[in-house]
Structure 1
Amino acid sequence: MIKTTVYLPEDLEVRLDAEASATGVSKAELIRRGIAMLLESSSRPKRVRKLPVFNSGRPLTPDAMDDTLYEHIKEQAARR
């Protein structure tokens, strides 16, 4: 796990302490659960889109690859 510092308004800290005491669940676990619930209900895509794979039959230079990817992204954006 990665440690993160979160600043809470006093009223949320009091409510969080009360919930942790009442349920026997640590404040850290309650915060993790709350973040997980927020992210699960998010309308953003839950998976990362993979970059398209191109097979031109010949190797591309880095500049040519950039141009090809740029054109693909423009085509995808135009379809939206």
Structure 2
Amino acid sequence: MRRTTVHLPDDLKAALQRTAAGQGRSEAELIREGVRLVTERHATPEPRLPLFESGDGALAEEVDKALAE
């Protein structure tokens, strides 16, 4: 785990302290939970890998030519 400094306004720091004390949890634990929730909510999906190689595209042109004949 890595240490990070977070700057909070006084009212948010006080709310964090009250919540941590009320739940018997550390402030760091609540901050980690909050960061996890936000990052999961706004996560971008992993790019999907193609199921097969699409080649160079010449096949479609060849099909068009064959159908035109």
Q: TM-score normalised by the shorter chain: which range applies?
A: 0.5 to 0.7
Partner Cα distance (2:17, 2:44) in 1: 31
What 5-or-longer segments of structure 1 have no aligned partner? 53-80
Deviation string for 1:13-70 (max 9, x for gaps)?
000000000000100000000000001111522x3x48x9xxxxxxxxxxxxxxxxxx
* Percent identity over paired residues: 43
Counterpart in 2 of 1:12?
12
Counterpart check, 1:28 vs 2:24: no
Tell me the TM-score normalized by structure 1: 0.55
Q: How many aligned positions are there?
A: 50
Tell me the TM-score normalized by structure 2: 0.64
What 5-or-longer segments of structure 2 have no aligned partner? 51-69
RMSD (Å), alpha carbons: 2.0
Q: Which structure has the higher relative contact order (CA within 8 Å, separation 6+)? A: 2
| Partner secondary structure for residue 13 of structure 2 | helix
